[in-house]
Amino acid sequence: MFNIPATVSARRAILVAATATLLSSCGGGGGSPATTAPSTPPVNNQAIVLLARNPTGNYLRGAIAVGPDDTLFVANDANATIFKLTQDGVVSGFVGKDGVPPGTDGTGSAAGFTKQIAKLLFDKNSQVLYALDGWGLQTYDGSPAVALRRITLDGVTSTMSLSRFPTHAPANRLLPQNLGDNPSTLALGPDGTLYATTAIMAGGGSSTPATGSHEAQHRGWRTVDSNGGGRLLFVQESGSFVPGYSDPSPPVSYQFPADLSATAGMLGVALTGLAVDRAGNGYISDLKRHIIVKVTPGGSASIFAGTADKPGAADGTGTAAQFNGPGEMVIDKADNLYVVDGGNQTIRKITPGGVVTTVAGQVGLWQTRPGPLPGGLNNPGGLAIDDKGRLYVTVADGVVRVQLP
């Protein structure tokens, strides 16, 4: 019989115990598999941060864009200016000055803007900030209500003239004869292509020489080249004419193209958001119809999310979801859409499969509440996203950064 030293015996005991523990954790040795309670992700108490509170005095929330080094460009509709905002909350002037005539081109404070800057978009390739200056619909005489302004990083502002596309309006009626120079919102595609939606609405009344009245709606989606040219990707038209001074024929209505029956009335005239995915599909938010419309590169339109003409706040898939005045949209690198749902005071997420969830803000909570999600968003308006996937929202209180899980 051999005598085993105590040290060796002790080591053997430790080895046996360790082996038993290993077998138990792997389901061997006749023991039950070890179970581990699922871990709960920690709450991010800094998910919603108020970067700047009412940053420029009599601030009114407007459009926003992410520029170089994640510096933000923010429109202040109270004084017709665009200012810069750092991630540390430092505010500085950029372009525009209250009192300068709107539409004035120039550098810095010599440029003039309206107090309705509908959209800001920064193009990293050209290092240019685009601004949609004005808010409204082009009238029957062809006068655009919104101008596309081009702003360099040095603050040099110029106005772009966009190419026009003929509509199908009969020449003998007082209806818009062209479409394309009245942008309502902008988006950049993954390949850097600049896109715009356009909307024209003509109406009768004392503003026309007609003794009768007329009305028409033309909606389009187009590309925008650096010189203002581009291609028309989708158009939806409808109109009617009540006999007046130029046409005694009975009232008529028309729709183009011929196969528009599948999408007739799909888009209203309040087109407030646009995004383009990696496949070239366009997504357009229709504020008044409470829907997101998807238009394929081939021109086929369908409701992607939301219940047409029925405002609400329901999460769900496709047309089972509800919005209440969807506005600006952005898209991330995985083709998820984020939408400002203004009437609900929230930000909604839509996956490529059309699944709608609420990611920030609370329905009916008209209060900016920093901290963990969902927090609160007081009257959200502008929306932007950076390369890290962080969202930036202009609210009545200032500018908010949202870090999603």
pLDDT tens digits for range 31-56: 344 444 455 557 778 999 999 999 88
Whether residue 250 has a cis bond before it, omega within 30° of 0: no
Q: Which residues contact 177 (CB under 8 A, 6 or more apart)?
A: 142, 166, 167, 169, 171
> Which CATH fold topology does 178-203+215-360 show?
Thrombin, subunit H (2.40.10)
> What pLDDT is stored for residue 143 in this prediction?
57
C-alpha torsion sign, points 150, 156, 157, 162:
negative
How would you classify the pairing of strands 183-188 and 194-203? antiparallel
SS3 317: strand
Percent share of the chain, pLDDT over 90: 58
Q: What is the mean pLDDT of residues 302-317?
A: 94
Percent share of the chain, pLDDT over 70: 74
> What pLDDT is stored for residue 275 in this prediction?
97
Q: Sorting pLDDT into bands at 50, 70 and 90, what band is 170? A: low
Q: Which phi and psi (to 5°) does residue 303 adopt?
A: -75, 120
Distance between CA atoms of residues 380 and 227, nearest Å = 33
> What pLDDT is stored for residue 297 in this prediction?
87
Distance between CA atoms of residues 76 and 64, nearest Å = 10
Q: Sorting pLDDT into bands at 50, 70 and 90, what band is 270? A: confident
Q: Which phi and psi (to 5°) does residue 95 adopt?
A: -140, 155
Q: Sorting pLDDT into bands at 50, 70 and 90, what band is 192? A: very high
Domain with CATH 2.40.10.500 in the chain: 178-203+215-360
> What pLDDT is stored for residue 18 in this prediction?
40
> What pLDDT is stored for residue 133 in this prediction?
94
Is the per-residue pLDDT at 78 higher than 70?
yes
Q: Which residue has the higher pLDDT, 148 or 245?
A: 148
Q: What is the mean pLDDT of residues 301-305?
A: 91
How would you classify the pairing of strands 355-361 and 346-350? antiparallel
Distance between CA atoms of residues 29 and 17, nearest Å = 12
Please tell me the least confidently modeled range out of 135-144, 215-224, 330-339.
Answer: 135-144
Give pLDDT tens digits for 222-266.
999 999 999 988 888 766 544 443 333 444 454 554 444 455 457
Is the per-residue pLDDT at 401 higher than 50?
yes
Full DSSP string of 89-123: --EEEEE--TTSPTT--EEGGG----S-EEEEEEE
